[in-house]
A and B are shown apart, each in its own frame.
Chain A
């Protein structure tokens, strides 16, 4: 065992050397100073189970930075977005966020999508006074002791569930059945929507399934045994596709309503038109005919864009505008924290939907009220977004068609 001990010491020495080489990688960019770009971190799923919007999310973040820089940047400094992959895994997300906060000294982190990822990186952000913009829905996120460092641009689970339930009732349904995977919000959805149905004299039930399955025939049979006239689909794109196919095979003719993370253009492109026909979806969105939304999809060259990518765009813009509204103070997470509400929900401010125009108004010392592609962007005291509109869409002949905005 004597050899072992010597090797052991060599190993410890090696560990030190390797840690040293890590330092070389980032040493040159460790300090953000005046004149250098303002760094904004983006932690989004680019690989793994929740990555279906990764491509458009990263494109939206870059589009936002380009728009800001084309308008001359923030207080004379350019903006740089640093995109890190969360690998759909909280452990990897924590490492990515730590790098953004400690090495790049970002003023804010945007994008975070899956609720488990957001819950995991939230403490790192609020403890280091870095603002976290998130598009996660779980109610628990804004209940953390974040001291105002978390802004949520997506409606909460409670709000989305209520709106879906109300829409199902509006369609004249009496017996609701909820089918969704085990997520932080599945049980909440069942409770909220069933509650609405019971109040209206109907019935509501639900079943939580295991995601990543190849068939949900058993679950679908179990749901249909209760003879529902509306089925609420609570899953993400991969499992919702399978559930829809099994519902089609089982000959279900009632109404189907899903959420924007499950029923969206990605799903409509992925399943046959007859399978998805008539499935409704509620998408948190900007007001109808929002110029900000139309401009953004034009820039990205897409016919439509998911709500989450729009939110990522707004995360970058909100950070930039907050910093631009306070040119006297050096850019930091604290400034973003203090000023977001001043530029996004000031009733006396000029309504503005274009970031270039907003920066110009701020340079002229005018108050603004920014409304982005993702919505009017007003935040309650706990950081939850308020006054969100929903786009009510339905799949018709394999394409999502807008029914109304409310």
Chain B
């Protein structure tokens, strides 16, 4: 449907007013809210992730796109809730204890939201116990740990250890942040590592067993 394609393009370009207008037109035309999300918003944000990976857009443009997406979701979420439609996957995310940086964490949360995951954002300076409790409470599929400071790397290691010990067999642990590498992720026993926010959706989908 051309309107869904237009919606994807409007989201990717961060055109908030167009995004709202096209969403309203799609709903008025009888398109289901789920289709609007899955065939309009999700492809739009996926395109944003791809453009970011290719350095064709940068963090501010990602945020502008996410804002547009959020405006559409404001219209759609009540309808989805009314229809009893929930996102397929739940993800918990936070910045590890001792680290107050949240830009990277917010970008990943935003991309996950754009992929229609239910996102539980624990914020910054999150203790290992809070990650474990949230993963259990929300029956999370993926827990994302972010760190910017090298000084907080030990906290990330400890959080992974406690999550592994918490007997949550369905939870996959994903890590990221400026000083983090695949080697470090392997060293501390994380299940996945994302080098940037643009890759975070595909990595999470792979972790939950969906081909990305």
Instruction: Answer yes or no: do A and B interact.
Output: no
Residues of chain B touching chain A, judged by Cβ–Cβ distance below 8 Å, are none
